[in-house]
Amino acid sequence: MTRSTLLGSALLAFSVLASAAPLPQSVTPAFAASIHDEPVDGIGDSFNATPFEGLIRTQSTRADRAIQEYDVSAFAGQSIASATLVGRVAVNNAFDNGVRTFDFKLYAGNGVADLGDYQISATLVGTGQYHPPIDVDFTYQFDVTGTVQSLLTGGANFVGLRVEGSSNPNFPNILVGTDCHLDLVLGTPAILSFCTPGSAGVAACPCSNPPAGADRGCDNSAATGGASLGATGTASLANDSLVFTTAGQRPNGTSIVLQGTSSVAAGAVFGQGIRCVGGVLKRLYQKSAVSGSISAPAAGDASVSARSAQLGDPLVAGQHRFYSVYYRDPIVLGGCAATATFNTTDALDVAWN
């Protein structure tokens, strides 16, 4: 057998790009448990006994989900610059039932293992896979900053992790508790993702088209699960290297990078999506998507700060600006108005320095 290592395909890949920060504070699980469901009806029935506190299994007649909760009460009321979820899933028996896939979800915990944690509402933050007996385990590492900050802001003292087998059959596997930790860095991120429709007080998608996970806009007619907006570089007026990149748009179509002077906490219906960028709006760049993605500024374009100044909004150090990308989506979903032929990504809050 060989060992497979997976850098988590986190749905938050572009969530936070932080400036220099203190060393992370590592939080280990306050407890671990595995909840059994038989017959399978999506409701937890009983706890698995020791030594199967980390059991993950999916079969047609029974299923088991592993849960952990992390005590984050020491971070209550604080802003975090980053949060990283790290751990390992190992094979318990090397039956070859194909590639085994998993969903990793976070929820507001209460410090106690409850049967209801099996089905409690949770946010998908990453996926993973391996193939026993070829592989004996896989490691994961997910950027969960946006989700953890939302839970802290909502008053949670414990962050719950639930790991589910998403392929069927998928058995048996163990979430290895001794290898799991949640690493938190205090501070304010320079770039923060927000505006997941239907989550954390943001309005639900208007066309029965919810996003597939956190930090995405509403789903589109290409069924990508919603488009996301990320950024690389530095939001520095002295050395502006900021570049926006989208993923999950329709394969092609016109796209506009939008800048606003304020955020709209609850969002507003915007075509087939929800827009959380408000105030004085500037259309910074127009691009055509290629394979569902754009990047801006591109070679030959003015930098973000220079373009903002050109459009009458010169930036000052310490100011925040808010960004999203809206794009052409001519196939209207879910009974929305025929004129709603566009959609939008989630949004970024950028602190300029």
| 336-346 pLDDT, tens digit each | 999 999 999 99
Place of tokens 């939080």: 27
Total of domains in the chain: 2
Cα 127 to Cα 101: distance, rounded to the nearest angstrom: 7
Does 76 fall in a domain? yes
Residue 55, C-beta contacts closer than 8 angstroms, at least 6 positions apart: 34, 48, 64, 66, 92, 172, 173, 174
Point out the domain boundary residue: 141, 159, 186.
186
pLDDT in tens, 203-212: 999 999 999 9
CA distances from 47 to 29, 89, 265 (A): 17, 19, 39
39-92 per-position pLDDT tens digit: 999 999 999 999 999 999 999 999 999 999 999 999 988 888 888 999 999 999
In this structure, the answer to whether residues 213 and 88 fall within a common structural domain is no
Torsion, CA 250, CA 252, CA 258, CA 263, rounded to 10: 10
Residues forming beta bridges with residue 268, ordered by sequence position:
275
Residues in the chain: 353
Cα–Cα distance, 300 to 45 (Å, whole number): 60
Residue 263: in which H helix or E strand, if any?
strand 262-270
Contact, 68 vs 29, CB < 8 A?
yes
Range of the structural domain that residue 258 is part of: 191-351
pLDDT for position 12? 34
**Residue 10 is assigned to a structural domain of this protein:** no
Please state the pTM of the whole predicted model. Answer: 0.60
The contacts of residue 238 (CB under 8 Å, 6+ apart) are none
10 Å Cβ neighbour count for 199? 19
**Does residue 222 form part of some domain?**
yes
**Res 349 pLDDT > 60:** yes
Distance CA 305, CA 314 (A): 7
Residue at 3: amino acid letter: R
In this structure, the answer to whether residues 327 and 199 fall within a common structural domain is: yes
Query: Does the residue 273 lie in any domain?
Result: yes
